[in-house]
Amino acid sequence: MKTIPIKGIFSLSPCNKSDIPTGIKLPQKMTMTFPGDIHSTLLRNKCIPDPYYRMNELQVQWVGKTDWQAETEFNVAPSFLRGRQFIELEEADTFIRVFINKKEVGLCQNFFRKWRFEITDYLHEGKNTLRLVFESSEGHACEKAASLSHPAPCSVYDIFSPHRNLVRKTQCNAGWDWGICLMVCGVYNPIKLIQTATGFLDYVQTTTEPEGKGKNWKVHIKAIYQSLKATKTSFSFSISAPVSSEGAKDSSKGGEKRKALLAEKTVSVELIPGENIIEETLTVKKPDIWWPAGSSPEDEKNIEKKGLPLLKDNTIYTLTTKASGALIKQNLAFRTLETVSEKDEYGRSLYFKVNGKAVFAKGSNWIPCDAIPERQTKDKYEALLSALVEANQNCIRVWGGGLYEKDLFYDLCDKKGILIWHDCMFACSTYPADKDFLDNVRLEIRHQVRRLSHHPSIALWCGNNENLGAITWYKESRENRDLYLVDYDRLNEGTVGDEVRKNDPSRAWWSSSPCSGDDDFADNWHSDGRGDMHYWSVWHEKKPFEAYYDIKPRFVSEFGYQSLPSLSETKTFADEKKDFNITSPVFEFHQRSPGGNSIIFENFARYFRVPSSFKHMLYLSQVQQALAIKTAVDYWRSLKPLCMGAVIWQLNDLWPVSSWSSIEYSGKWKLLHYAAKEFFAPIGLSLYKKDGEVKCFLLNDTALSIKPIIKLSLIDFNGKVLREEEISDQNYPGESSTCVYSKQIEDLGFSPDSFFIYAEMTWGKIRSETTLFCIQPKKCELESSKVKISVRKNKTGDFTITLKTDKPAFYLALDADKLPGIFSRNMLTLLPGKTESLTFRLTEKRKLTAQALQKKLSVTTLRDIY
């Protein structure tokens, strides 16, 4: 077997020049390479404006409605013509006709499949041509809609591409309530020419299990080989480890570090034409065990001395499989994982159990990291997933309106210990159930499950996002419910679920998100006792934050609250003179949730005094977002083990926008992400008021028994301590949530508008503090504070920032403008007589002095905004 990537330069042009809008000038010669996308090529050639700036999105919609062609030449040596030849495309988006030497050899029609076409009869020695014709996905969607026996309605937004649910591409390309509408096309993996006489090693799937009660582990291997003929060949399997891992021997020679060989086996196999499955088992002695982030017993032993967060990477082993000149190297790790969903006295549980330990899923939802494929860079994936674990999160949900991600994404989750709740790529729609559509989907799911199932980070396969509930959203499906339920069942259970169960029986199949479990069709937007829940009453139904206390969920896989972007983010898409107003056309254009800015502003008035400037509105929106999510998580974590999951909507943005994200498109952390680092800490405090009662819980997700010092202080707004209680003589068991303080507000002895509660916990290097107002902050007379700030550069290159104040300063937010960096803490309560120190770390290499950073820094507190 021989593989040659096609790296040549392609000429790009529209198939029909008449499709180009008047006023758009394309260069006579426009070139691109693959991997690549059409929008990026047009941007490089200055044919379209930046679609993220102001309202330029409207000026680029024609690109996705246009058919494009890309052509290149490549040379073929005589030796390559032996045997049979194929062309292979993966991440081919979406309808692409493939021509070799002017002859059509195949049609790609599903972005989520791998396409392989035989070209033996079309290649010749010397110069050959490859032409790719990208047909408009929107055009195909409209054609499909016209052919259906009955409509298949889907969610639509102000700017959208119609019938996106009828084509198998990233659903949010067509626009979402946080996303730009860009119907991108291209090929995002290298295009390959393959020469083989035998066939293809397509997939290698693995599962691991402990061998008896000892420390050795079995690795069950299933190689899937597509053979072109009946023949005999050998398969070799070997497992290696980084030489730094325990038990691994250094096999380096001549100073070159290589992986240490732990196990190997070679077998001879008689192949038949078509698909062959080769199964073998290897044993690895005493491997390191894979754990979700922050859950490793070894890390927990050191937590008191080292502090948080726990950021140790997992040991990732390598399984190498060889057959007939083909080779696959992929991740391997050792762990047991169960998805537990059992009926109990409260309804039905849902949680993950890893290596016998029940894990509270603390995480966020993931959407594509950029709307433009060429901007989905390695650095972006690394930064976002590192930020997730740095904020003490251990779980991510790959949402069903996005895509099956790049290999890099899963490799990073494996390494960092991020459990993946993995939706299949269907969202917020009804879908067709005709034979062509179902056959296409069946091959998609088969490919993706086989491709990804070896990753230890994947915890669960879920059929879709909200499709079951969507049957009640549309007039057509409400009026003919049974017809649409049959369509749903044929697709979701008869096709998607069937393929998942067949191809990865080691993992749980969860039919939809949200749902109550198999054969249970409860309303899991409001029903809280069974399975996973999407709780949106606080946002979409405009209920107060306290509505989070109305439910006792088992696992919340979506809940969220929006904020406006930071000032530095706003400057990337808005004109300061024209657009810096939350009701300006451009600012509202970058808000896709209907009435979103109004909801944010209404809650300003509910809880706070109205900000006096645009800048302060941006700040308060981020404070408000953080408080909303903290309200929910603090309460739900206190319910452990009844509740075992809180997965925030959403981690990231794919363009600059007002949204639910905790990290802005630029990579800048919002105040919510800093707050999440505190409220998701494995050891910390939860402080809240419910039904007129103040409660404080000690949260301990570790297996350790701890004896912390806990102080609760009632402080007036001048900083005077009115009352203080200390709890220091109690041990708190591991895996627990323990109420340490409970008192009615009316029994505290002071008017609720005259004080706040400050709670602090210390245990070794672990420190947790939290603040509670006993009434809406707008009803309190806060004092203006004078915050002093000093900056010192450390030998490590990061900066120590010291803060002092003369009066209590609430929700103190540090901002470094456009400087790429992360504070160790933010959104603080700063008390008089108490010095707070934190660090600032640059995330890009650049020269920066302490003086320059101090000039860039701004400090905003709640009292500053009015």
The set of long-range contacts for 577-585, using a CB threshold of 8 Å and a minimum separation of 24, is 579/54, 580/614, 581/614, 582/614, 582/617, 585/55
Among 130, 123, 137, 195, which Cα is nearest to 166's? Answer: 137
Share of the chain above pLDDT 90, in %: 94
Query: Cβ distance 363 to 647 under 8 Å?
Result: yes
Segment holding 403, helix H or strand E:
none
Cα angle 149, 152, 153 (rounded to 5 degrees) comes to 145
Quick one: pLDDT at residue 258? 60
Q: Check if the beta carbon of residue 776 is closer than 8 Å to that of residue 752.
A: no
For residue range 127-172, list pLDDT tens digits in order. 999 999 999 999 999 999 999 999 999 999 989 999 999 999 999 9
Q: Which two tokens stand for residue 289?
A: 């065990």
User: Cβ-count burial of 3 within 10 angstroms (0-12 exposed, 13-18 middle, 19+ buried)?
Assistant: middle
Q: How confident is the model at residue 42 (pLDDT cuts 50, 70, 90)?
A: very high
> Which of 646, 599, 673 lies closest to 177, judged by CA?
599
CB 703 within 8 A of CB 735: yes
For 210, the token pair is 């402990």
- Asked if 260 and 251 touch (Cβ cutoff 8 Å), the reply is yes
Band of residue 259 on the pLDDT scale cut at 50, 70, 90:
confident
User: Is residue 362 a contact partner of residue 419, using CB atoms and an 8 Å limit?
Assistant: no
Encoded amino acid at 153, one letter: P
Tally of CB atoms within 10 A around 269: 16
Q: What is the pLDDT of residue 791?
A: 98
**Among 294-308, 522-536, 678-692, the least confident range:** 294-308
Q: What is the pLDDT of residues 402-432, one digit of tens each?
A: 999 999 999 999 999 999 999 999 999 999 9
What gap in Å lies between CA 65 and CA 136, rounded to an integer? 5
Q: For the segment 188-221, what is each residue's pLDDT rounded down to a tens digit?
A: 999 999 999 999 999 999 999 999 888 999 999 9
- Cα–Cα dist 542/544, whole Å: 7
Cα–Cα distance measured from residue 605 to residue 84, given in angstroms and rounded to the nearest whole number: 71
Collapsing DSSP to helix, strand or coil, 331 comes out as strand
- Work out the pLDDT band at 833, boundaries 50, 70, 90: very high
CB atoms < 10 A from the CB of 156, how many? 16
Q: Which among 820, 810, 819 is positioned nearest to 860, based on CA atoms? A: 810
Across residues 450-456, what is the average pLDDT?
98
Confidence of residue 760 (pLDDT cuts 50, 70, 90): very high
- CB-based burial of residue 127 (10 Å sphere; 0-12 exposed, 13-18 middle, 19+ buried)? exposed
What mean pLDDT do residues 627-632 have?
A: 98
Q: pLDDT category, 520, cuts 50, 70, 90?
A: confident
Alpha carbon 83 to chain centroid distance?
43
Q: Token pair for residue 771? A: 């603040």
Nearest to 235 by CA among 329, 321, 332, 319: 321
Looking at residue 244, its pLDDT comes to 64
**C-alpha span between 747 and 376 (Å, rounded):** 55
**Predicted local confidence at residue 251, as pLDDT:** 47
Residue 45, pLDDT score:
97
Where in 594-706 does DSSP place strands (E)?
645-648, 683-690, 693-700
Q: How far apart are CA 156 and CA 16, in angstroms?
A: 29
CB distance 541 to 523 below 8 Å: no
State the average pLDDT for the chain.
96
Mean pLDDT of 755-763: 97
Q: Which of 709, 705, 598, 587 is nearest to 656 (CA)?
A: 587
Which pLDDT does position 255 carry in this prediction?
Answer: 41
Q: What number of residues does the chain have? A: 866
- This prediction has a pTM of 0.96
pLDDT at position 245, please?
A: 52
Residue listed under structure tokens 């160790």: 824
Tokens of 8: 């040549």
CA distances from 529 to 397, 526, 584 (A): 21, 9, 43
Helix (H, G, I), strand (E, B) or coil at 458: strand
In angstroms, rounded to a whole number, what is the distance separating the alpha carbons of residues 728 and 27? Answer: 74
Segments in 507-584 forming alpha helices (H): 567-570, 576-579
- Which amino acid is present at 91? E
d(CA 433, CA 650): 30
pLDDT bracket for residue 328 (50, 70, 90): very high
Nearest one of 458, 468, 465 to 508, comparing CA atoms: 458
What pLDDT is stored for residue 254 in this prediction?
44
Q: Residue 257 has which token pair?
A: 């570090």
Quote the tokens at residue 58: 């409207």
Residues 472-493 pLDDT 10s: 999 999 999 999 999 999 999 9
Mean pLDDT of 777-806: 97
Q: How far apart are CA 394 and CA 707, in angstroms?
A: 25
Are β-strands 419-423 and 395-398 bridged in parallel, bridged antiparallel, or unpaired?
Answer: parallel
Token digits of residue 535: 């709780």
Per-residue pLDDT of 280-303, as tens digits, reads 999 999 999 999 999 988 878 888
C-alpha triplet 624, 625, 629: angle, nearest 5°: 115
Q: What is the band of 252 on the pLDDT scale with cuts at 50, 70, 90? A: very low
Residues 6+ apart with CB under 8 A from 253: none
End-to-end C-alpha distance for the chain, whole angstroms: 71
Q: Residue 248 carries which side chain, given as an amino acid letter?
A: A
Which among 300, 298, 295 is positioned nearest to 459, based on CA atoms?
295
Residue-wise pLDDT tens digits, 554-610: 999 999 999 999 999 999 999 999 999 999 999 999 999 999 999 999 999 999 999
Q: Where are the alpha helices (DSSP H) in 639-748?
A: 671-679
Pairing between β-strand 395-398 and β-strand 736-744 as defined by DSSP bridges: unpaired
Exposure of 522 in the CB half-sphere (CA atoms within 13 A): 19
Structure tokens at 142: 């409209």
Average pLDDT over residues 7-16: 96
Q: Report whether the peptide linkage leading into residue 514 is cis, meaning its omega lies within 30 degrees of zero.
A: yes
In three-state secondary structure terms, 398 is strand
